[in-house]
């Protein structure tokens, strides 16, 4: 769509931009990323003669509050400076401004701030506080919960959250909320949920689970349990079963010691069924490449293997190239199992929507004009 319509300016979260092929969008000239932290690698891959702008701003501030043009692709992208009419304060716990280079919580003040959270007066009072730096009656600051520091040239360097809130594909997620859901499972003894980015640009939720001795824990049971209680964006992509959760000397969870999930962790409990036909091999090979796993079974579900909507876009592009036919993203979501997808793709291709070439469009237009002429009433001029 972006290529066919010659889109020149686009605003996207970094995770969506990372899923798109940069070389296939020759008309794109200006890129604005927002909603998530932007990596150096992403700027380097997409800049290449384009204007790359990294923006920052939570929903509570009507989205964008700061912007910065990325000039050096080798440097970590900053979030720039405040846009017009926005005031940014980096403050310590006593609400005092921090000096250059010292981390503080980022606060926002301007007329575009939200009034608060609907039916949540307590959290509204906690997050929207009186502005001690303003003489205006009713002046407020929004406490973002984000850590940042000033660089020597005045730009702002985003450092992450001061709490455990994370962003995955633009969604705000509290890992503690996900943990509480899975702790209700009758076989789960303990669980820790973290965000991992083992592949640059591909953030995913990973749940580390400690089970009770009996009965045996089944991953499929965990997935079904979670799907009943959590929206899709809060579902962990991978479940890793541990004997115990690693702890620091002071008894807290040692998140750095949590093991990197291997390919086996993405497996389901169903037996492995290898591909038999050429079409089955094409589909499973593409899934393996996109999901970066060793093998895919015919009874596997794309989302149970750690897939998500952005990776599905990559699958769509590769299937189109391999099969030389139109495949809609809607159909891929409708058939997330290999067997179901292969059955759908095996149907008579004549029933698929034809590709409308320029020659085909001209014929359709000519036929339409002929029908109009036939339907037009004749006027007898021999009066």
CATH number at residue 207: 3.30.300.30
Encode burial over 263-300: b for 16+ CB neighbours within 10 A, e otherwise.
eebbbbeeeeeebeeebbebbbebbeebbebeebbbeb
Asked whether residue 133 falls in the same domain as residue 208, the answer is no
Give the CATH number of the domain where residue 343 resides. Answer: 1.10.1200.10
Of 52, 69, 44, nearest in space to 10 by CA: 52
**Of the ranges 270-274, 283-287, 343-347, 349-353, which one carries the lowest mean pLDDT score?**
349-353
Distance (Å, whole) CA 126 – CA 240: 36
Asked whether residue 151 falls in the same domain as residue 186, the answer is no
Q: Please tell me the chain's helix, strand, coil percentages from 3-state DSSP, rounded to the nearest 5.
A: 30, 25, 45
Residue 2 lies in a domain: no
Instruction: Note the pLDDT tens digit of each residue in 208-256.
Output: 998 887 778 888 888 889 888 888 888 888 888 888 888 888 777 888 8
Asked whether residue 212 falls in the same domain as residue 71, the answer is no
Residue 249 lies in a domain: yes
| Structural domains of the chain, count | 3
Residue numbers of the domain that contains 186:
170-261
pLDDT at position 224, please? Answer: 86
What's the mean per-residue pLDDT of the chain? 84
Q: Residues of the chain with pLDDT > 70: what percent? A: 86
* pLDDT above 90 (res 118): yes
Asked whether residue 34 falls in the same domain as residue 114, the answer is yes
Asked whether residue 13 falls in the same domain as residue 156, the answer is yes
pLDDT band (50, 70, 90) for residue 174: confident
Instruction: Report the pLDDT averaged over residues 193-201.
Output: 78
Of 154, 137, 159, 163, nearest in space to 88 by CA: 154
* pLDDT above 60 (res 267): no
Instruction: Note the pLDDT tens digit of each residue in 41-97.
Output: 889 889 888 999 999 999 999 889 999 999 887 888 999 999 999 999 999 999 999
Asked whether residue 154 falls in the same domain as residue 181, the answer is no
Residue 92 lies in a domain: yes
Distances (CA, A) of 355 to 332, 342, 358, 359: 19, 21, 10, 11
Instruction: Report the pLDDT averaged over residues 282-297.
Output: 86
Asked whether residue 275 falls in the same domain as residue 245, the answer is no
Residue 257 lies in a domain: yes
Instruction: Note the pLDDT tens digit of each residue in 5-29.
Output: 889 999 998 888 887 877 778 889 9
Asked whether residue 18 falls in the same domain as residue 148, the answer is yes
Residue 79 lies in a domain: yes
CA 344, 349, 353, 355 torsion-angle sign:
positive
pLDDT at position 359, please? Answer: 56
Distance (Å, whole) CA 302 – CA 207: 18
pLDDT at position 227, please? Answer: 86
> In the listed set 117, 144, 161, which residue is the last one of a domain according to the structure?
161
Asked whether residue 14 falls in the same domain as residue 146, the answer is yes
> In the listed set 161, 178, 200, which residue is the last one of a domain according to the structure?
161
> In the listed set 161, 182, 203, which residue is the last one of a domain according to the structure?
161
> For residues 85 and 360, which has the higher predicted lDDT (pLDDT)?
85
Give the CATH number of the domain where residue 119 resides. Answer: 3.40.50.12780
* pLDDT above 50 (res 113): yes
* pLDDT above 90 (res 130): yes
* pLDDT above 60 (res 347): yes
Q: How far is CA 382 from the centre of its chain?
A: 71
Distance (Å, whole) CA 309 – CA 332: 10
Q: Residues of the chain with pLDDT > 90: what percent? A: 33
pLDDT at position 368, please? Answer: 63
Residue 179 lies in a domain: yes
pLDDT band (50, 70, 90) for residue 150: very high
């Amino acid at each position: 769509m972006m290529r066919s319509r010659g889109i020149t300016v686009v605003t996207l979260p970094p995770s969506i931009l990372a899923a798109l092929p940069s070389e296939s969008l020759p008309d794109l000239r200006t890129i604005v990323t927002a909603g998530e932290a932007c990596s150096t690698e992403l700027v380097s891959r997409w800049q290449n003669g384009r204007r790359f702008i990294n923006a920052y701003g939570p929903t509570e501030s009507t989205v964008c509050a700061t912007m910065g043009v990325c000039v050096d692709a080798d440097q970590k992208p900053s979030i720039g400076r405040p846009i017009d009419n926005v005031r940014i304060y980096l403050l310590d716990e006593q609400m005092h401004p921090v000096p250059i280079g010292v981390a503080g919580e980022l606060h926002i003040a301007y007329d575009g701030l939200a009034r608060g959270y609907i039916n949540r007066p307590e959290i509204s009072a906690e997050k929207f506080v009186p502005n001690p730096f303003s003489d205006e009656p009713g002046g407020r600051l929004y406490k973002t919960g984000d850590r940042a520091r000033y660089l020597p040239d005045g730009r702002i360097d985003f450092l992450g959250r001061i709490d455990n809130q994370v962003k995955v594909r633009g969604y705000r997620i509290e890992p503690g909320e996900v943990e509480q859901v899975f702790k209700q499972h009758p076989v789960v003894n303990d669980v820790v949920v973290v965000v991992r980015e083992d592949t640059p640009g591909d953030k995913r939720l990973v749940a580390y689970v400690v089970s009770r001795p009996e009965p045996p824990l089944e991953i499929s049971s965990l997935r079904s349990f979670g799907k009943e209680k959590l929206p899709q964006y809060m579902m962990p992509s991978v479940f890793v079963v541990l004997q115990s959760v690693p702890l620091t000397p002071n008894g807290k969870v040692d998140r750095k010691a949590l093991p990197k999930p291997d390919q086996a962790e993405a497996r389901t409990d169903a037996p492995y069924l290898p591909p038999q036909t050429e079409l089955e091999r094409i589909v499973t090979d593409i899934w393996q490449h996109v999901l970066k796993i060793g093998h895919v079974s015919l009874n596997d579900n794309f989302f149970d293997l750690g897939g998500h909507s952005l990776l599905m876009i990559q699958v769509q592009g590769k299937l189109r190239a391999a099969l030389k036919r139109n495949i809609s993203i809607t159909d891929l979501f409708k058939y997330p199992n290999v067997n179901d997808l292969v059955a759908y793709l095996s149907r008579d291709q004549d029933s698929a929507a034809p590709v409308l070439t320029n020659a085909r469009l001209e014929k359709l237009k000519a036929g339409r004009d002929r029908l109009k002429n036939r339907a037009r009433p004749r006027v007898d001029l021999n009066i």
